[in-house]
Amino acid sequence: MENYTVVLDYFKALKEPVNAGKVSEETGVDRKEVDKIMKKLKDEEVIVSPKRCYWEFKK
């Protein structure tokens, strides 16, 4: 759950949409783990995609 919080906080602090690779790079969380967390965040409707493959915190 710790990685979930790290990724969620990262999205909350964003100024512009990012892709999963950037999230992994910036947070230090493994890419496969980031993909799982992002899927959960999408399912919970916490993040949205303004353009293909880029995600941001739902405002």
* 6-47: pLDDT as tens digits: 999 999 999 999 999 999 999 999 999 999 999 999 999 999
- Structural domain range at position 29: 2-57
> Which residues, including other chains, have CB under 8 Å from residue 29's CB and lie 6 or more apart?
3, 6, 7, 23, 37
Number of domains in the chain: 1
pTM for this one?
Answer: 0.90
pLDDT at position 59 is 80
Phi-psi region of 56 (alpha: psi -120 to 50; beta: other; left: phi over 0): beta
pLDDT at 1 over 90: no
CATH of residue 27's domain is: 1.10.10.10
